[in-house]
Structure formats: C-alpha cells, structure tokens
Structure 1
Amino acid sequence: MTGTVGTGAAGAVLTDLRDEGDELEALVAGLEAKAWALPTPAPNWTVAHQIAHLTWTDGQSLTAATDEAAFQREVEKAMAAPDRFVDEGAEEGATLAPGELLERWREGRSALLRTLADQPEGRRIPWYGPPMSVAGMATARLMETWAHGEDVADALGVRRARTVRLRHVARIGVRARDFAYAAHGLTPPAAPFRVELTGTDGEPWVYGPEDAAERVTGDAVEFCLLVTQRVHRDDTGLRAEGAEAGRWLDIAQAFAGPPGAGRASGSGSGPEPGSASEGESA
C-alpha cells in the first residue's frame, strides 16, 4: 500500500500505522509453516500467536469504531476474564493455517485503516482504557504493532531498522504516565515530568516543561522498549532524576489493561550497542 491515509494529524499517524504493519508483514509473509511455531519472548506465544493477537486487536478496534454496543459487550467479556481474554484471542487465531492467518490480518488492517480515516473530526472511540481520538487509536495500534513486531523479530533472529515512526511510541509512553500509576494502584504525581530522548533521527525528542524537577533522559529506542515492556529497565541506559521519575521507569506501560509482568533483566530485546531501536487518551 502506498500514498497517504486520510488527512491532518490523524492521517499522518494512519500512514505510519500502515507502514508499520506493512513492514512486519514483509517479515513474516515468506516464512515456512514451521517458523510460525517458533517461540517468542512472550511466554507461551509463538510467532503465530503474535500475529493472531494483532489480528484480534485490530478486529476489536474496528468493532469499537463501528458498533459501540457490540464493543461494550466485548468489554464486559474482558471484565469477566481479565487474565484470559487477550490470550484466548491469540490462541484462537494461532490455530489457523499461516496463510489464512496472514490474510485475515492483512484484511483487518486494511479495514481498520479505512474506517479510522473516515471518522469525523473530534470522534472519541471507546476502548478498554479511556476513550481515544482517531489519532490516539492509530497511535495505540502502531505502538502495539511495533512492540509485537519486536517479539517476532527476536524469534527470527532479525534486527529491524529503527524508524522515526517510534516517535509515536515515545509520545504514547509519555502520555500514559498517569495510567501506569493508576494501573499499579498508585496516585500519579501532580507535577509533569521532563522527558528528553535522543531520537532515531539523531534529533532530540522532548516532552514536558523544561524546568520540571523530575526528569528522564536517554535513548528513544530504549524508552520505547521499556514502555512496551520489551526490555528490563536495568538493561537500558535510561536515567531518572527524582524519586518519582525513577518509580515511573519501574512501572511504565504504554498499553491499556493490567500491568504486565515485564521482562527479566538480561532477557529483553534491547538495541544493539551504539544504536539509536492502550491507554492513550489524546
């Protein structure tokens, strides 16, 4: 797929979401069937589980955007089995033949992109966390596509290029700060933090007021891996100034739902030495 998806700020994110999905599809499209059964860093999840989960979540996003009553029923199912509903969606899809799963994922991605591009300005889409704008939904989908793509790449022994699309992941990680606190039953700090990252383009990616007392600095790729819980904090060079900034790095998550177990120290998909690589409510 080429060209721009939609217009305005949402269109820019949708275009990057499309490109992120296309890049991951190119990684798995030519795999032999046995490669789909390779284990990934996520416990009990194979490559097929990872793609099946993205397929399922794209489907949930499409339902949320097109049928709020039906999506509310999905939320009720999730509340009844909070520790199982995500795994069940992945397990069901992983039983499909690789070619069928790939086609379902491709069709679901295309349908979601078209639907989000057609949404009216100002639309808020319900989700498992706070309702999201169209740009917020697209950002969350890009974040998850990238994060699960990291798991797939790890399983295949592939080092993917670190693109400027990670700016969206960094942004949602910063904006989800208060959600991460709440997910752990903690009261978020009243004062904003300053986050200064070295971006994949070599430029500074900066968030929050310059005079903030609490600060996080470091590499943007490591920050994105941390907030998607693809690396342990100890395996990054991220630095925190202030007790609350330090606490945040221990609990950060950019996705909706309960806190994940995270990765053990030494087991994450951290960037190569010297490399620069669903609770959002925008």
Structure 2
Amino acid sequence: MSDPSSVIDDLHEESEEADRLVARLGPEEWGLATPAAGWSVAHQIAHLAWTDHSALLAVTDGDGFRALVEQALAAPHTFVDEGAEEYARLAPAELLARWRKGRAALENGLRSAPPGARFPWYGPPMSAASMATARLMETWAHGLDIADATGVPRPPTDRLRHVARLGVRTRDFAYGVHGLTPPTDPFRVELVAPGGELWCHGPEDAPQRVTGPALDFCLLVTRRAHRADLALTADGPDADRWLGIAQAFAGPPGSGRPPKEGGRGGQGHTP
C-alpha cells in the first residue's frame, strides 16, 4: 500500500468505536472480566495504550524502542502482561486520557512519516501502512473483548478488510512461530465481507483454499474464537493445517480457548 492514509483513517474510526465502549463506563465497570483470562476492561485499554506507546517509539525514537525490545527479550512470556498490568493500575479517567493522547500522537506520527519509511518492530520492520494495520487489528480485537464483557453488540464493518489481509499475509509467520516450515505455494482465500461482496487473496487456481465469512476469518487469526465455532472451510491439507495455527499478531502462539458449545467462543489476547 503506497499511500497509508486510508488505513490510518480506518484505524482512527476503529479507535473511536472502541473509545465509545469505555467512555460510558463507571469506575467499577472497568474491572469487569473479559474473555481474556485474567484481563479486565482496564487491562484491555491498558494494553492498547501500552502498545500504542511502543509503536510511537518505533516511529519516532528508534533508540527508545530498541530498549523496549531488550526488555521483551529478557522476559518474552511476561513482558506484554506486565505492561498491561502497569497501565491497568491507573485510575480509569487517567488511563483513558493516556490512551487517547498516545493514539493521537501515533496517528500524527504515521501520517507525517516519510514515504517509504520503515520502522522497527518485534517482528520484521514495518511501513506506516503496516503499522497502522497492525494497530487496527489489535484495536478491533481488544475492542471485541470489551464489547463481550459489557454486553454491547459490535456489528462487523468493512474495516475488517485490513485485518483479513493481515491474516493472509502472516501465513508464513504463523508456521514459523510453531516451528514449522511454511508451504511454498500460495493459497486462495475467499471471504464474504460484511456487506456481501467477496474479498479474494491468492491465485484462483491455487489447490489449497480457505473460504467463509470475513468476520470468522478475522476472529480466527486474532484468536478471538475457536475454529470449531466458525464457518470456515479448508480445502487441502496445508490449508487445513494453517487454520489450526493462524495468527496475525507478533509474539509466541497462545494456547487459545476450547470451543464453546452452541455459540462463538472468545479466545485469549493478542500480545
């Protein structure tokens, strides 16, 4: 994506929607448990605020971000939770103000990034568009956790096209974090968008195929639902294996949640 403006615009809208979920909550409701084990609503916003700060450092302060990476390498399995826990101790009003300020600064940094710039991250370096896409993916996923905790329905929007595209592009990464060799051939992915149109990725004649609702695919790659609860179809053994390990976010794979009987399951939190 040569011009990141559209995905940054969608990131802004996704953040505003998540903001509306928590802006109306009383102090005690910030302590509501979410589908992510051990995480309250406050932890979800704290994680977004903390990760936005990390992304802002990556965009504006390379040395500062490298120091964060060193901390992550020293405690790879607890680093993310520790960051969320630290921010979650803040009073709700202070945490909300910090998240708003941080995401606005990140948006400004991404919009003013020089064309072609690439920024360090916990995985491969990212362009401004890729960074905005990753932030949108996390904002949507954690916003979904908050909506589940507070009982607020969140109809899917066409902003999911960014999450779906990221899920497709991270296929080989998902194999790698599981210690597996990625397939050499591309897959065909055909997803039915919220508006009914078809979002397609990969060559039409690819023998390995994944089909189904775009929402379900996004729930899968963000580990917000178990595969057994989703209407996704895999044609071919490699495609089938991918749906068992798909992961659109950086970090080690989580254990996930067991399938829920009779309904959609929630699942873990993105690092």
TM range (shorter): over 0.9
- What is the alpha-carbon distance in structure 2 between the residues aligned to residue 125 and residue 260 of structure 1? 25
CA deviation after TM superposition for structure 1 residue 9, in Å: 2.8
Partner of 1:78: 72
Distance 1:104 1:268, change over 3 A: farther
Partner of 2:129: 135
Partner of 2:211: 217
Q: What is the CA deviation profile of residues 185-244 of structure 1, one whole-angstrom value per residue up to 9, with x for unaligned ones?
A: 000000000000000111000000000010000000000000000000000110000001
| Number of equivalenced pairs | 267
- The answer to whether 1:240 aligns with 2:225 is no
Partner of 1:171: 165
Q: What is the CA deviation profile of residues 248-273 of structure 1, one whole-angstrom value per residue up to 9, with x for unaligned ones?
A: 000000000111122220189839xx
Q: What is the CA deviation profile of residues 64-114 of structure 1, one whole-angstrom value per residue up to 9, with x for unaligned ones?
A: 011111111111110110011100010011111100000000000100000
Query: How large is the Cα RMSD of the aligned pairs?
Result: 1.7
- What is the alpha-carbon distance in structure 1 between the residues aligned to residue 105 and residue 155 of structure 2? 26
Query: Are 2:220 and 2:227, in contact at CA under 8 Å, matched by a contact in 1?
Result: yes
Query: Are 1:230 and 1:269, in contact at CA under 8 Å, matched by a contact in 2?
Result: no
Query: Are 1:231 and 1:268, in contact at CA under 8 Å, matched by a contact in 2?
Result: no
SS at match of 2:185: coil
Partner of 1:16: 10
CA deviation after TM superposition for structure 1 residue 124, in Å: 0.6
Query: Are 2:229 and 2:263, in contact at CA under 8 Å, matched by a contact in 1?
Result: no
Distance 1:269 1:106, change over 3 A: farther
- What is the alpha-carbon distance in structure 1 between the residues aligned to residue 28 and residue 66 of structure 2? 37
Any stretches of 5+ residues in structure 1 without a counterpart? 1-6, 272-277
Where do 4+ consecutive residues of structure 1 move more than 4 Å?
A: none
Give the alignment partner of residue 47 of structure 2, picking from 50, 53, 56: 53
Query: Are 1:213 and 1:242, in contact at CA under 8 Å, matched by a contact in 2?
Result: yes
Partner of 2:178: 184
Q: Percent of aligned positions with the same letter in both sequences?
A: 61
Partner of 1:148: 142
Give the alignment partner of residue 67 of structure 1, picking from 61, 64, 70: 61
- What is the alpha-carbon distance in structure 2 between the residues aligned to residue 54 and residue 46 of structure 1? 13
SS at match of 1:231: coil
- What is the alpha-carbon distance in structure 2 between the residues aligned to residue 127 and residue 268 of structure 1? 39
SS at match of 1:170: helix
Any stretches of 5+ residues in structure 2 without a counterpart? none
| AA in 1 matched with 2:110 | L
SS at match of 2:93: helix
Give the alignment partner of residue 106 of structure 1, picking from 83, 97, 100: 100
Query: Are 2:208 and 2:235, in contact at CA under 8 Å, matched by a contact in 1?
Result: yes
| AA in 2 matched with 1:239 | T
- TM-score, length basis structure 1: 0.92
| AA in 2 matched with 1:53 | H
Partner of 1:261: 255
- TM-score, length basis structure 2: 0.96
